[in-house]
């Protein structure tokens, strides 16, 4: 157990946090890779998911894209990008974005497509334009699923940003990969522990955001019906009901079979 | 692409390692999660507990878990067992949440009908509810299997075998064709695994292909059409 002690001593020693290669800098680098990649994935996936979910056209595309992108190995893409374009923020952003798009796309699409059609029809019959139906009715109702997708994407990206270190980039992976390379396993453990804590904290924060976004509860100061679900995998299961009551552990909305 | 064709025998050997590391956990996870999920299904407190525990396990980054596990279980660092145990944990964590949800989704009418024709609680679970939850389970399994395939690839940065070694080798030797070959091989592998699980799920649910649920359904439908 001496590894654990050494690792904890390392983490709780103030000098190790300061400086250009200190824990503080590494955490910020890690958050930077994560933040940029999550933002880019959201910019790509959310509009596509909104359009396809709203029109119902091209849902086959979503299923194919989600499954295909998920099968793409992040590490290979990252290392290839480094060889092609050199070091910098571009390779990890590309690789991690490809990782973040599937859950976000699945969440957005499933969220919009699973909004109770009666509610959508009612909105239309009141004379809302299509744009308003989307922004005022469908998006608020789909928000828990969209944010659930964001949560899954963030979680995967923050965990995988570790491999950026392999391509001579920064981030918390430095400790993990250097530690293994030089056989100083307590250093690897420092990296592992820090990444885990970072992931747990981010996930906890996003879980709270998802919880707050549940419409009809006034948690976001908006009053609209319908609740929650959090996992990309569950998005793929078939819905048993047209207007699911997400509040108890009921059937999950889907990407497939639409 | 040419690299892949020129190194087919190596690719095959690496594929076998890769499959072993990524699919054994899927099987083990399934074997653990289905009974566990069915067991906690009816117990609100236990179910909440497993959901929370599963959520936390799922949040732990895989690379971190590969490194931390040897401290918890008696294995050496960089041992294959760590990968298998870690991925089994993830598989179980994901499926143990999906199983109760799948069981919830069985329509109450079906459940009542099963009870009415005399199934015991266990019989009902094994012969009615679990088979009906296969589609949801298949969806979960597909995600897990594909994720495992790419996690094993990521593991190559800390010296785990499989097709991911082509990434690390190719990167160190500055050979982008080897990396491309690795990407193609892993992509194809993941897609094949995905399709196989999808097909297995279809085979296990022959009733899903006809739109009606009862065996006499199509006949009645045909008769109704003929009458009309």
Read out DSSP for chain A? -HHHHHHHHHHT-GGGGSSTTSHHHHHHHHHHHHHHHHHHHHHHHHHHHHHHHHH-TTHHHHHHHHHHHHHS-HHHHHHHHHHHH-SSSHHHHHHHHHHHHHHHHHHHHHHHHTS-HHHHHHHHHTT--HHHIIIIIIHHHHHHHHHHHHHHHHHHHHHHGGGGGGGT--STHHHHHHHHHTT-HHHHHHHHHHHHHHHHHHHHHHHHHHHHH-TTTTTTS----------HHHHTSPPSSSS--TTSS-PPP-STT-
Q: Which residues of A207-230 are buried (b: 16+ CB within 10 A; e: fewer)?
A: bebbeebbbebeeeeeebebbbbb
DSSP B2-32: HHHHHTHHHHHHHHHHHHHHHHHHHHHHHHH
Q: What is the average per-residue pLDDT within B139-166?
A: 87
Residue contact B105–A251, C-beta within 8 A: yes
What are the backbone dihedrals phi and psi of residue B158, each rounded to the nearest 5 degrees, phi first?
-110, 25
Report pTM. Answer: 0.79
- Residues counted in chain B: 228
Residue of A nearest to B154 (CA): A75
Q: What percent of chain A has pLDDT over 90?
A: 31
Selected residue of B22, B157, B192 to mutate for chain A interface (largest A Cβ count, 10 A): B157
CA A257 to CA A86: how far, in whole Å?
42
pLDDT digits (tens, 9 = 90+) for B193-205: 999 999 998 898 8
| pLDDT band (50, 70, 90) for residue A61 | confident
A44 to A174, B65, B118: CA distances (angstroms):
29, 31, 53
Question: Which of A75, A83, A193 has the CB atom closest to B154's CB atom?
Answer: A75
pLDDT digits (tens, 9 = 90+) for A90-101: 999 999 999 999
Residue B101's contacts (CB-CB under 8 Å, 6 or more residues apart) are A234, A237, A249, A250, A251, A252, B136
Of A107-111, A187-191, B81-85, B214-218, where does mean pLDDT reach its minimum?
B214-218
Selected residue of A74, A75, A200, A201 to mutate for chain B interface (largest B Cβ count, 10 A): A75
CA A153 to CA B120: how far, in whole Å?
43
Contacts of B56 in chain A (CB under 8 A): 200
A116 in the Ramachandran plot: left (φ > 0), alpha (ψ -120 to 50) or beta? Answer: beta
Statement: residue A249 has pLDDT above 60: no
Q: How far is A7 from chain B (nearest CA, A)?
A: 11
Q: What percent of chain A has pLDDT over 70?
A: 84
* pLDDT recorded at residue A105: 93
Question: Which of B59, B64, B94 has the CB atom closest to A233's CB atom?
Answer: B94
CA A194 to CA A188: how far, in whole Å?
10
Average pLDDT, chain A: 81
Cβ atoms of A186 and A176 closer than 8 Å: no
pLDDT digits (tens, 9 = 90+) for A170-198: 888 888 888 888 878 888 888 888 998 99
* pLDDT recorded at residue B140: 86
Residue contact B98–A237, C-beta within 8 A: yes
| pLDDT band (50, 70, 90) for residue A222 | very low
| pLDDT band (50, 70, 90) for residue B162 | confident
Residue contact B174–A83, C-beta within 8 A: yes
pLDDT digits (tens, 9 = 90+) for B27-55: 999 999 999 998 898 888 998 899 888 88
Contacts of A154 in chain B (CB under 8 A): none
* pLDDT recorded at residue B211: 54
Question: Which of A74, A192, A231 has the CB atom closest to B68's CB atom?
Answer: A192
* pLDDT recorded at residue A240: 45
| pLDDT band (50, 70, 90) for residue A165 | confident
* pLDDT recorded at residue B70: 78
CA B159 to CA B150: how far, in whole Å?
15
Statement: residue B225 has pLDDT above 60: no
pLDDT digits (tens, 9 = 90+) for B94-133: 889 888 888 888 888 988 899 899 898 888 888 888 888 8
Statement: residue A28 has pLDDT above 50: yes
Statement: residue A168 has pLDDT above 60: yes
DSSP-derived 3-state class of residue B119: coil
Cβ contacts from A onto B, under 8 A: 182
CA B77 to CA B158: how far, in whole Å?
10
Q: What is the average per-residue pLDDT within A31-40?
A: 94
Question: Which of B58, B60, B139 has the CB atom closest to A237's CB atom?
Answer: B139
Residue recorded with tokens 């050979």: B175
| pLDDT band (50, 70, 90) for residue A153 | very high
A91 to A28, A81, A97: CA distances (angstroms):
18, 5, 10
Q: What is the average per-residue pLDDT within A129-142?
A: 90
Q: How far is A75 from chain B (nearest CA, A)?
A: 6
Residue recorded with tokens 């593991």: B155
* pLDDT recorded at residue B133: 87
Residue recorded with tokens 């933002």: A39
CA A26 to CA A14: how far, in whole Å?
14
CA B34 to CA A94: how far, in whole Å?
37
* pLDDT recorded at residue A50: 93
Higher pLDDT: B62 or A148? It is A148
Angle between helices B176-204 and B165-172 (to 10 degrees): 170
* pLDDT recorded at residue B26: 93
Q: How many CA atoms lie within 13 A of A90 on its CB side?
A: 9
* pLDDT recorded at residue A241: 46
Higher pLDDT: B217 or A73? It is A73
Alpha-carbon radius of gyration of chain B: 22
**Exposed (0-12), middle (13-18) or buried (19+): which is A253, by Cβ within 10 Å?**
buried
CA B43 to CA B37: how far, in whole Å?
10
Secondary structure letter of residue B133 according to DSSP: T
Sign of CA dihedral A207, B99, B20, B83: positive
Q: Read off the tokens for B116.
A: 């009415």
């Amino acid at each position: 157990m001496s590894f654990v002690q050494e690792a904890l001593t390392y983490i709780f020693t103030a000098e190790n946090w300061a400086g250009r290669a200190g824990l503080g800098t590494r955490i910020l680098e890690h958050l930077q890779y994560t933040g940029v990649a999550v933002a880019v994935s959201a910019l790509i996936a959310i509009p596509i998911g909104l359009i396809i979910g709203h029109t119902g056209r091209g849902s086959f595309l979503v299923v194919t894209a989600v499954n295909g992108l998920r099968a793409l190995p992040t590490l290979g893409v990252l290392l290839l990008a480094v060889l092609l374009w050199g070091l910098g923020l571009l390779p990890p952003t590309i690789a991690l974005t490809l990782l973040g798009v599937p859950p976000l796309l699945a969440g957005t699409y499933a969220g919009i497509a699973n909004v109770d059609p009666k509610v959508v029809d009612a909105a239309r019959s009141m004379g809302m334009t299509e744009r308003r139906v989307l922004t005022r009715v469908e998006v608020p109702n789909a928000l828990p699923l969209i944010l659930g997708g964001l949560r899954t994407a963030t979680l995967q990206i923050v965990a995988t940003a570790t491999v950026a270190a392999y391509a001579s980039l920064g981030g918390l992976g430095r400790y993990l990969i250097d530690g293994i390379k030089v056989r100083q396993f307590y250093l690897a453990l420092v990296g592992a522990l820090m990444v885990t804590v970072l992931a747990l904290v981010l996930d906890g924060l996003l879980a709270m955001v998802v919880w707050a976004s549940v419409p009809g509860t006034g948690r976001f100061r908006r009053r609209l019906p319908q609740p929650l679900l959090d996992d990309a995998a569950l998005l793929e299961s078939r819905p048993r009901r047209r207007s699911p009551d997400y509040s108890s552990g009921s059937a999950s909305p889907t990407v497939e079979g639409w | 692409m040419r690299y892949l064709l020129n190194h087919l025998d190596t690719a095959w050997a690496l594929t076998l390692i890769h499959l072993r590391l990524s699919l054994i956990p899927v099987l083990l996870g399934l074997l653990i999660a289905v009974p566990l999920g069915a067991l906690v299904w009816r117990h609100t407190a236990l179910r909440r507990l497993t959901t929370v525990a599963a959520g936390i396990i799922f949040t732990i980054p895989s690379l971190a878990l590969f490194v931390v596990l040897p401290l918890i279980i008696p294995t050496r660092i960089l041992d294959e067992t760590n990968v298998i145990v870690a991925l089994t944990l993830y598989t179980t964590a994901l499926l143990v949440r999906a199983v109760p949800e799948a069981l919830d989704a069985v329509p109450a009418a079906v459940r009542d009908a099963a009870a009415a024709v005399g199934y015991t609680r266990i019989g009902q679970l094994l012969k009615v509810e679990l088979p009906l939850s296969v589609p949801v389970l298949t969806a979960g399994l597909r995600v897990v299997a594909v994720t495992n395939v790419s996690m094993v690839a990521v593991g190559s940065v800390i010296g785990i075998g499989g097709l991911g070694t082509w990434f690390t080798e190719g990167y160190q030797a500055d050979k982008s064709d080897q990396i491309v070959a690795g990407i193609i091989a892993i992509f194809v592998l993941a897609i094949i695994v995905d399709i196989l699980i999808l097909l297995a799920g279809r085979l296990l649910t022959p009733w899903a292909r006809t739109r009606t649920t009862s065996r006499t359904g199509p006949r009645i439908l045909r008769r109704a059409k003929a009458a009309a």
